[in-house]
Every structure is written in structure tokens, then in C-alpha cells.
A and B are shown apart, each in its own frame.
Chain A
């Protein structure tokens, strides 16, 4: 056993040919002894601990060493691979696996920086719930170039001591008018702030399907008119009359704790529960989603074309989809990320384990959350962000 990494080092040709995921036995063989540099956002202690935990698992079971390269911005990894390609470094790239979605994925896929398609061939992919949010990423077809591992869905947090769940975006506007200064969202271009704008857009436009096309295919002013009408009415009733905004999602926790606001958006259904345990939110906070659903997005992992550890990276991607790992990630004390698996495809014991998981006091169950609506095409984000800044962000 100990000799295998040594032998692999003697056979450099084995790492040069791209491994074929449909022949999983060979992939496992090749992966043993490889070191996978996973470039992933390192801003949260919980995520870092989870990756360390996963590293121990793949090292014990498959002999793959997982190194977490902590990023402050995923764009750094994209730039890195791009500059490697420009410099002609088509092998031995620094990035073996990258936590990615949305615009960064679109950039990498369009610039041919990704290895694949591989994701749909992974053994555990059979367990994945193939919803729209898994097969298209911000309007870009995934086509097996990235493998899903966690799901987030837009929700509203509310302090149940001061507010009630609301059933639509219009009801939110109504509530804000009756309770001026008690609702806010992070200032776009903050990711959550922009997602709030998209959420409003998706629920307000007549035909949300146009949002799956690039923005150039439609008349931007015409399509987004309902959003601006909505915001023109909402903004004066925001916290501080819309003259200031919290700078990020977590900054809203302090505002709720301080009784400054009662309702605020969140990107993760379990974020509020975790914040309650950390004393960052009062115990009375709960979450709700409007009746016609909220947009969701999925976190993926992708493998750059010039990685030398593609087999090891695929083993990690596959392991991320293992029911035990998904269960661990969904535990609110660990990460609280939604699973991408279809519970119906699991064994009864596994399904029971998911059912038994205590999601936390403020977290909605899968049935209450409903199906996630797909994110608009990435080009819409940029366009409404810019338009918002012009209208409300620089008065």
C-alpha cells in the first residue's frame, strides 16, 4: 500500500492522460497518492473546519491528500488559471479543484479553462436531485463541467416578536409602508443585496422565462420597469429611508439584535439558526419564503483543464455527494448547507437520518421552502446592479 504513491511518481505518464470518470476503478487507482489543491473561499471558520474534516475522510478512504487554499475571492482562482493558460502552462496548474458558481463558472467555461464533462459520470451523481438550479448555473448550462455539492435558497429572516411571515413581495412593500424603517437589505453590489433585487425582479416581471436569456436579447428598461416602480415605493420606507444600507448579510444580524429592523433577507435557510446559537441573533428570529417561491443557487466544484490531479479532484467531488458527507454539511452546527441529493433516491436508513436531523429553530424544512426558482442569467445581475447604483446608490 505504502509503495503506491511511490510507484505513481515513477509513472508520470499516468497523470498526463486525462482520467475517464466512466471507468471509476481506474480513477480511484490513479487518485491514490495525489494531492488536490482545493481553492475555496476561506472566510468562514465553519467552512474551513468542514474542508479539514472532508480531507481526513478522503485521505483515509482513498489516499487523496486535500489541501485547502483559502481564497478571499473566487475570482483570484479564475485569474490564476487564466494567466497560466496565457503563459502556456497547460499542465501542472496550481488549482486542482475550485468552489465556484455563477459568473466565475461562466467565465471559466467560455474560456475553455475547465476539464470535463465529468460531473454527470460520477458514481454519486445518480443520487442528485436534477432540478433546474443544478443543470443551469445563472443561466449557463452546466453540462457536466462542474459538480454540485450544496444548495442555498433565498429566505427572509423576521423577528417573530415584531413581525409576521409575509406571503408575497407586494405584501413586503405593504408591510414596509405600515412599518417604515423596519426593513432593509445589504447595499448592492453586495451579493445578497443583488440577490434581493433579482428576487424582486423574478416575482414582479410578467414572464420570468425571459430572464434566462442574456440581457441583450430583451429591452432592459421594459422588462425591469416593474422592479423600479416597486423599489421607488419601497425605498423611502426602508431603514434610514434608504440613505444607508447594511454593508453585508451578517451586518443585518446586529441591526435585528439592536431592534433597528425586523425583517431582512438571507441567502441560506439555516443561517439564522446558526446565528441564534452564536448570540448574533435574538431567539425570537424565524424565517419565511413568499408563496410563489424564491430563487436558489447551488455551489459547485469544477476542475481546471491543466490540473495534474484530476483523478484526485474527481474523487473529492464524488465524495462531496456521499450521503454521509451531505448529511454532515446540512447539520446546522457544521455548515447548515442544503443537500443537493434527492431524498427519495437514498436508502431508508439514509433518508431517516436526513429526516432526523435537527435543522435548527429558525430553519424551514424542504417542503416549506418549496422548489428553488432558477437564478436569472448572469448578465441580468450586472445590469440591474448598475441600474440600482445609478438610481439609489449615488444620490
Chain B
């Protein structure tokens, strides 16, 4: 059984992606018998080309994706190079887990409440500027997608920071910097010239994930993105929701086009790496010790702090709106507090929370069993994971969601499988598995195998070693993996929406669907509940080991 688990895991992860891409290819070539279209024909492609917003939407996908990726990578580089080891950096590290678990949609809502012309920041400025009315400026939903990009950066910085911190020990950051500094290199220049290349080699795949995700994100784009036209991925989702079945063809063609766009951009990014690497080698070999180190370093901290604060302050505003009575422009606080919004939506929130945790719990449980199975089979049969296998882990995260989920939905319909919770769980597993695997893999492999040898010497079977020794000792990392799994599942919007066929509502789908209603109170309540659902497991992951191992100091944490 254990021998087959790796294959089973791969199937659970890649099966839906492959089925989804194939499910998009057929309708994209004009073939969708269930709706009465028999291809092959150019109908789908023609409908896509007929959409007047295509060029603009494609441009938006590329610019917001590239800007968000470059921006978050830049901020992470500046802050790690300039500030690691300082007290400010320790503060940022502490804020990392909560920031990471805040769902994208909640962060986007918070940002919207903060930066909109009638938002909280403008209210601060209004008395000074003498504005009686909010300025008529296009901030949220601007045509270049800049606000949307900012929202993405605020959420991707914690992710890339975590990945970078994990990569630093292997990149031998500290000793390398000691040598560089003793040779007279500035803090920033030294780090960029010596540590960055090997760190980047390790975080390359996460960077690609950020690029693919940012180019095709739907929930953040619905909340912060432009609408005349919308981004390509948002438009694909609109087409999927249109009653006319011929729009399914357009959606399929759009999905394939989105996949091509992301593929091309990933290749271009890779090419850019080569160019930069060649220039960089010359630059490093040039031997200059400083390149504006002071300025670069001074930029890093404010950028990181602003991106972290925008999420945290946004959450505070969400909370405040959820209990606000009347709150008019330009007041900085509501005129009164009430629990009316919460009691009005109590049943809606608890229903959605029930489904959210049911799905997140089952998905994370499955992901955990599969991951432990794979890791244990690796341990028992001595098969190390190759680089190619790691790439496979990242693959579902590199294929844009809008490229394979519409096809997966159409595929499920054409084999007459009903939409609902079970397919949603399967779709969530595609995204949860890689994160659980990536999070558990390193601590699992770092576990001292001599413990197993001793246990075996005492007569324990391999299964007993696993259950009685290894798993309890790895309680901390296991709980962290569970927390990450739950947070990922809680935050998933598109898989729940499309595969659930509108019949499965989680806190995330409810919150995002509220965005069109613009009711800040309801949005505040749902987004806050959504954040709590993602944060709670993290709190447990930190608290439980301390409680369980209160008399085993070596096992805490």
C-alpha cells in the first residue's frame, strides 16, 4: 500500500489539472456536445476574439502579474538584505504567520476600505486638504490595475519572505556575509552580490508560483481590479456564469489563452533571469564595494512595514465596519457601535463556517495522510525525492486556476457528476497538497533517524515507530502543516465557486460575492470571520505543542 502512495498522491494532485486542461481544450475547439456544439470549429476562438476587451484584459493580466511579482520579490530582497538580524526584522518575522494566513480576499477588502477616495486614509487627509467631499479619483479599480497590484504585493511579500527565510541557511547566508563584510562590501551590495544568487536559485519556484497566481487571480481582481474591461481571468469567470451555453465555449478559449499567456510570461521571466545573471556576474566581479547601500537599505524597511501595516490596518477597519452604526464621510470613526450586523448575519456566517471547516478539515486530513505516506515510503524504501519530483509538486500551483477549473467543471458536467462538496474537496486537494507537502517535508527529513534505530532495537515495528515515536515528536511541524492546509483551503475562492456550482458556500465565496453589494458592514463581518477561520489553526499550532509538551522542553515549538 505504502509503495503506491506517491503515485496516488501525484494522481490526486495532477489528475484534476490534466482533466481540466483537456476539458477546456475540447470546448475551445468548438466541441461541447452537451450544449449542442459539435466541433471542431473556430467558433470559440472567434467569440473570444470578438470580445472588445481582449487586448486590454490580456495586457492587464501581464502587467499586474509581472509588477506584483517583481514588487514583492524586490521588497523581500531589500528587507532581508538590509535588515535581517535587527529588531525591526524580528518584529516583521513575528507578524509573518498571521499575515500569511490572512486570506487574499480579506486583505483586499481591508485595503479597499483604506485607500478608496472615501476610505480611511483620505478621511485623515480631508480636513487638512479642506475636502468636503471625497475626491473623484479612480483609485480602487484603476485602469492600470495598480491598486490590485498593491493588494497582491501586500499578500505575496509574506509568502516570499517565508520562502527566503527557509532558504537562507542552505544558502549559507550568515557565513557568506561575514566574509563579504570583512572584505569591505556594504551590507546591501555584499548581500546582493554573494547571497542573493544562491537564495534566488532556491526560491525560483515560489517566485514562479507568485507570477502565475498574480496573472490569473480572480478574487483580488473582483475586489480591487478594473471593470472596463475586467482582467482576463475575471472575464472567464463571468462567461462561466452566463446562462447561454455558447459562453462556455468563449470561457474555454479564454482559459486556454490565459494558460498560454502565463506560460509565455514564465518563459520570458526565465529568459530574464539568464540576462540578469550574466549582467550580475559582471557586476559582482567588478568588485565595487558599495552601490548606494544607505538609500537601498533605507527603502527596504518602510516598504515592508507599509505592506504589512496595510493588511493589519485593513483588518482593523473591517472589524470596525462590522460593528458600525451610521458612519458618514469624513468621520474617522462610526457614530456608534452595534452588534446588529453580526446578529443579522449570524446564521449565514455559521452555515458558511460549517461548510468551510468541513471541507478544510477533510481536505487537510487527506493531504496529511498522503504526505506522511509519501514521506514515510521515501524513508522506508530509501527513495529520495528528485528535483523533477519537486517540480511536479509545484506544477498545480503554476497552472493558472482559471485555465483548468472551467474545463474541470465542464468535464464534471459532461460525465454527469453532480457539482457539490465532494468535487470541491477533490479540487481543494490539488492546492492544499503541495503546501502541506512543502511545509512538512523539511522537518520530516530533518528528524534524527537514530530515534528510529533505537526504537527498532527495542523491538518496535516500523509502523509502531511511525505512530509512537516519529509522529508525536513531529507534533509541532504536523500542526503547522495542518494550519497551512486549513488556511489554504479556507482562502480558496475559484475552486469552491466553479466546482461547487454555486451550491457550496464557504466564508470566502460568501465574502467575495458580497463585494458586488458594497455593504461594508456585511463585508466586514464575513471577511473577519474568514480571517478568523484561517488564523485559528495557526494559533492552535503554536499553542498546542506548548500545552502537550509542557513537561518535555526539547519537543516544544
Contact = CB atoms under 8 A, between A and B. Distances in A.
Contacts of A241: 136, 138
Most buried by B among A72, A239, A252: A72
Interface string B110-121: 000000011000
Contact of B518 (A251, A279, A282): A251
B39 interface: no
Interface stretch (B90-98, B320-328, B441-449): B320-328
Contact of A257 (B133, B329, B515): B329
Given A250-B517, A259-B118, A72 B326 contact: no
Interface stretch (A195-203, A301-309, A356-364, A386-394): A386-394
A369 B295 CA distance: 65
Interface in B33-63: 51-53, 56
Interface string B402-435: 0000000000000000000000000000000000
A244 interface: yes
A247 B523 CA distance: 14
A258 B132 CA distance: 11
A112 interface: no
Nearest to A239: B136
A259 B518 contact: no
B174 interface: no
B495 interface: no
Nearest to A45: B344
A258 B118 contact: yes
A240 B519 CA distance: 20
A282 B325 CA distance: 11
Given A76-B502, A250-B519, A245 B133 contact: no
Interface residues of B, number: 38
Contact of A280 (B138, B140, B519): B519
A187 to B, nearest CB: 6
A244 B329 contact: no
Interface in A63-94: 72-73, 75-76, 78-79
Contact of B325 (A78, A79, A279): A279
Nearest to B515: A247
Interface string B222-246: 0000111100000000000101000
Interface of B: 51-53, 56, 117-118, 132-134, 136-138, 140-141, 143, 226-229, 241, 243, 324-330, 344, 348, 502, 515-521
21 contacts: A73-B502, A75-B243, A240-B136, A240-B138, A241-B136, A242-B228, A244-B226, A248-B517, A250-B517, A250-B518, A251-B517, A252-B518, A254-B519, A259-B328, A259-B329, A279-B324, A279-B327, A282-B328, A392-B228, A394-B51, A394-B52
Given A259-B328, A259-B329, A254 B243 contact: no
Nearest to B325: A279
Interface string A262-273: 000000000000
Contacts of A76: 502
B518 A248 contact: yes
Interface in A179-217: 180-181, 187
Given A250-B517, A251-B518, A394-B229, 4 more contacts: A187-B227, A244-B141, A244-B227, A247-B518
B123 to A, nearest CB: 10
B133 A187 contact: no
A40 to B, nearest CB: 15
A247 B516 CA distance: 5
B55 to A, nearest CB: 9
B136 A181 contact: yes
A303 to B, nearest CB: 21
Contacts of A242: 228
Contact of B52 (A244, A247, A389): A389
Nearest to A187: B227
B109 to A, nearest CB: 12
CB-CB nearest 5 A-B residue pairs: A251-B518, A394-B53, A258-B118, A181-B136, A394-B229
Contact of A390 (B52, B133, B140): B52
Contacts of B141: 244
Nearest to B140: A244
